[in-house]
Amino acid sequence: MKKFLPNLLLSLFLALLITGCHSLNQKEQLLTAAGFRTVVPTTPAQSAHLAALPQGHLTPVTKNGQTLFILADAKHNSLFVGNQSEYQAYQQLRLKQQLSQDKLATAAMNADATAEWNAWGGLEGTLWGPGFN
């Protein structure tokens, strides 16, 4: 158990580090899974407009009375576009992902707490009463 815990904590740390580095990529994957379409600019004016948009954030835009949600990614020269139902699907996928990450973090904390109790020695016996040492 003593060797398992440091490896587990190191693995969790690396997973969180990688998650932080690829957060935009994960967001794009969730958007695609939710049904958002990828639009690539075809003119210099579109490319300039893409660069001027807020990068990496979902932004609501009203066009022809319909609310669309866009995410600009000038680094990859693309724009993600979705409607209200696709946005709601994205929110549900994001919530599921967050719950999964929370469960992983909870498991790591529980493993850490269990390992700390091992320092007390064999707690299997009587902890109180006449047989307690």
Residue 117's pLDDT band, with cuts at 50, 70 and 90, is low
- Amino acid letter at 30? L
Structure tokens that stand for 68 in this block: 């669309």
Residue 3: per-residue pLDDT = 54
Reported as half-sphere exposure (CB side, CA atoms, 13 A), residue 22 has a value of: 10
Residue 1's pLDDT band, with cuts at 50, 70 and 90, is very low
Has residue 115 got a pLDDT over 80?
A: no
Local structure of residue 41 (DSSP, 8 states): -
Asked if 34 and 63 touch (Cβ cutoff 8 Å), the reply is: no
Rg of the chain over Cα atoms, rounded to whole angstroms, equals 24
List pLDDT tens digits, range 11-45.
Answer: 555 555 455 445 668 899 999 999 999 999 999 99
Report pTM.
Answer: 0.60
